[in-house]
Amino acid sequence: MNISTILTFGAQAGGRSATRGSRADGGVCPTAGVLRLSIAACCLSALTACRSVNTASPPAESAPVRVQTLRIEPRTFASTVPVTGTLVSPTRVEVKAETIGRVVKVAKEEGDSVAAGEPIVWLDPVNYELAVAQANSAVKVAEAALAKAEVAERHAASELERARNLLRSGGITDKDLKSAQVAGQEGRAQVELAQAQLAQARVSAETARKHVRDTVIPAPVGGQVARRHVSVGSYVEAPTAVFTLVDNGRLELEALVPTSDLASIRARQSVTFTVNSYSGMRFRGSVIEVSPAVDAEARTAKVRIAVDASGGKLRAGLFAEGEILTGSAANAILVPIAAVYRDDRSSKQAYLFVVMQNKGEPAKAFRRAIRIGAEKDNLLQVLEGLQAGEVVVAEQSIEVADGVRIEVK
Question: Could you report the per-residue pLDDT of 356-377, keeping only the tens digit for each?
Answer: 988 888 899 999 999 998 888 8
DSSP letter, residue 361: S
Q: Does the N-terminal peptide bond of residue 239 adopt cis geometry, omega within 30 degrees of 0?
A: yes
- Decide: helix, strand or coil at residue 49: helix
Q: What is the dihedral of CA 375, 378, 379, 380, to 10 degrees?
A: 40
- Contact yes or no for 336/70 (Cβ under 8 A): yes
Ranked by mean pLDDT, which of 20-29, 32-41, 277-286 comes out on top?
277-286
Range 111-128 average pLDDT:
93
Range 243-258 average pLDDT:
91
pLDDT of residue 48: 46
- How many CA within 13 A on the CB side of residue 20? 7
Q: What share of the chain is helix, strand, coil (3-state, %, to 5)?
A: 35, 35, 30
C-alpha–C-alpha distance, residues 141 and 134, integer Å: 11
- How many CA within 13 A on the CB side of residue 208? 20
Range 284-308 average pLDDT:
93
Range 315-334 average pLDDT:
90
Other C-beta atoms lying within 10 Å of the C-beta of residue 12: 12
Range 202-225 average pLDDT:
94
- How many CA within 13 A on the CB side of residue 72? 25
Other C-beta atoms lying within 10 Å of the C-beta of residue 280: 5
- Contact yes or no for 225/241 (Cβ under 8 A): no
**Per DSSP, which regions of 53-106 are E strands?**
65-67, 69-71, 75-88, 92-96, 101-106
- Decide: helix, strand or coil at residue 187: helix
Residue of 87 and 168 predicted with greater confidence = 87
- Contact yes or no for 245/224 (Cβ under 8 A): yes
- Quick one: how many helices (H) and strands (E) in the chain? 4, 21
What Rg value do the Cα atoms of the chain yield, rounded? 54
Does the structure show a pLDDT above 80 at 171?
no
C-alpha–C-alpha distance, residues 324 and 82, integer Å: 6
- Contact yes or no for 362/61 (Cβ under 8 A): no
Exposed (0-12), middle (13-18) or buried (19+): which is 62, by Cβ within 10 Å? exposed
Does the structure show a pLDDT above 60 at 35?
no
Residues 6 or more apart from 403 whose CB is under 8 A from it? 364, 365, 366
Range 315-341 average pLDDT:
91
Does the structure show a pLDDT above 60 at 49?
no
Does the structure show a pLDDT above 90 at 321?
yes
What are the pLDDT digits (tens) for 263-291?
889 999 999 999 988 888 999 999 999 99
Reference 194, options 146, 262, 259; nearest CA is 146
pLDDT of residue 44: 44
pLDDT of residue 74: 92
**Vertex 85, ends 274 and 327: CA angle to 5°?**
70
Sign of the alpha-carbon dihedral angle for 322, 325, 326, 329: positive
Range 122-137 average pLDDT:
95
Averaged pLDDT score across all residues of the chain: 83
pTM above the 0.85 mark?
A: no
C-alpha–C-alpha distance, residues 340 and 350, integer Å: 7
Predicted confidence band of residue 61 (pLDDT cuts 50, 70, 90): low
